[in-house]
């Protein structure tokens, strides 16, 4: 190929062929998009996907959605957006060290939680119980990418990015190593930052963590992150899979179980969840009975795409930020003062 007439994208694709691991997902080999688009002369397909996710409305709304702690008083607790950025940073570090496709990794990481509801997993549980079709945030993330963004047009992401987003859950099995990196990075991120937030909220002290796990992983967020990331890199380099050593993986999973017992289901941290779930269920019932109250972009999904009303109401409520859902609830259900 004549380098003098290559586009910037083609040079990047050539660089990937020459420098990345034999197990990396090369941009040149993407399975493509559901709707064909002419290639960009500057950006690879995965770079375009990253940019589309970053500039989407759903991504921006993550800054006002709960990660673990509902309505915490303080500026330094994680939100769904800061969690996403931490996952992206961890995943990119691992992908770079393993000579995988960092652009694909970043796109998956940035998009993996687009479908999360207000009030974290409490909101997810509420919609799953209320909607006859069920609700799972990873499926909703794909629905956002394929349909809901851009007024029903979707983002038209590549197959590899969609696959990574859908399979980032614990039981998922991503088709690319980049997707596998994000799947593990998600756990590494939330275990460690949730420990940090729990300590900040005086729910835990560092010394409360089981010594059998901290002896292996470390006694600070910094040490634990370094241990887990290095372990993945050392055990996955030039291999067709992303794995951890048995010792570190068992310590990570043990710490995760501890967090479920003492933080994720802790009465102090989660005492407002019952209210949040009840509120979202009432909003769901209201909009299902009053479909005409939905914004026009959601009504068009029912009228023009024949989407089920139950699913579209889920779409609307899932897309709300914590604060917006509260304000809509107050607008609909809370009596207001009046004047003659």
Could you read off the pLDDT of 265-277 as tens digits, one per residue?
766 656 788 899 9
Q: Which two tokens stand for residue 268?
A: 């102090």
State the average pLDDT over residues 213-236. Answer: 97
Task: Compute the distance between CA of residue 72 and CA of residue 87 in angstroms, rounded to an integer.
Answer: 21
Of 211 and 263, the structure prediction assigns the larger pLDDT to 211
pLDDT for 248: 98
pLDDT for 78: 86
Whether 146 and 20 have beta carbons less than 8 Å apart is answered as no
pLDDT tens digits, one per residue of 117-157 = 999 889 999 999 999 999 999 999 999 999 999 988 999 99
pLDDT for 203: 87
Whether 21 and 240 have beta carbons less than 8 Å apart is answered as no
pLDDT(191) > 60: yes
pLDDT(176) > 60: yes
Count of CA atoms in the C-beta half-sphere (13 A) of 92: 13
Task: Compute the distance between CA of residue 146 and CA of residue 133 in angstroms, rounded to an integer.
Answer: 18
pLDDT(74) > 70: no
**Res. 337 pLDDT band, cuts 50 70 90:** confident
Whether 130 and 293 have beta carbons less than 8 Å apart is answered as no
pLDDT for 273: 87
**Res. 279 pLDDT band, cuts 50 70 90:** very high
pLDDT for 339: 56
CB-count exposure of residue 148 (10 Å: 0-12, 13-18, 19+): buried
What φ, ψ does residue 176 adopt, rounded to 5°? -115, 155
pLDDT for 208: 96
Task: Compute the distance between CA of residue 73 and CA of residue 238 in angstroms, rounded to an integer.
Answer: 45
State the average pLDDT over residues 168-192. Answer: 96
State the average pLDDT over residues 34-43. Answer: 96
Q: How many CB atoms lie within 10 A of CB 288?
A: 16
DSSP 56: S
State the average pLDDT over residues 32-37. Answer: 96
pLDDT(3) > 80: no
pLDDT for 75: 67
pLDDT(263) > 80: yes
User: What mean pLDDT is reported for the chain?
Assistant: 93
Look up the pTM and report it: 0.95
């Amino acid at each position: 190929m004549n380098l003098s007439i290559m586009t910037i994208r083609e040079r990047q694709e050539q660089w990937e062929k020459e420098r990345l691991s034999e197990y990396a997902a090369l941009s040149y080999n993407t399975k493509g998009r559901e709707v064909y688009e002419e290639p960009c002369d500057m950006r690879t397909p995965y770079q375009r996907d990253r940019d589309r996710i970053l500039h989407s409305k759903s991504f921006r709304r993550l800054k006002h959605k709960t990660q673990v702690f509902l309505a915490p008083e303080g500026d330094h607790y994680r939100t769904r957006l800061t969690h996403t950025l931490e996952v992206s940073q961890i995943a990119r570090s691992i992908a770079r060290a393993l000579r995988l496709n960092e652009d694909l990794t970043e796109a998956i990481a940035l998009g993996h939680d687009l479908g999360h509801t207000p009030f974290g997993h409490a909101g997810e549980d509420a919609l799953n119980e209320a909607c006859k079709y069920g609700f799972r945030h990873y499926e909703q993330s794909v629905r956002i990418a394929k349909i809901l963004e851009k007024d029903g047009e979707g983002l038209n992401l590549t197959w590899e990015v969609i696959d990574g987003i859908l399979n980032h859950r614990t039981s998922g099995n991503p088709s690319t190593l980049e997707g596998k990196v994000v799947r593990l990075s998600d756990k590494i991120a939330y275990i460690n930052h949730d420990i940090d937030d729990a300590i900040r909220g005086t729910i835990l002290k560092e010394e409360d963590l089981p010594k059998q796990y901290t002896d292996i992983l470390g006694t600070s967020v910094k040490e634990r992150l370094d241990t887990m990331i290095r372990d993945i890199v050392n055990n996955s380099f030039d291999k067709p899979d992303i794995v951890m050593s048995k010792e570190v993986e068992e310590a990570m999973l043990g710490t995760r179980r501890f967090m479920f017992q003492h933080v994720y289901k802790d009465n102090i941290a989660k005492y407002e969840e019952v209210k949040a779930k009840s509120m979202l269920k009432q909003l769901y019932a209201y909009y299902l009975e009053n479909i005409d109250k939905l914004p026009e972009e959601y009504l068009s999904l029912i009228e023009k795409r024949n989407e089920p009303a139950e699913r579209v109401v889920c779409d609307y409520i899932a897309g709300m930020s914590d604060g917006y859902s509260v304000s809509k609830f107050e607008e609909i259900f809370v009596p207001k003062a009046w004047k003659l």
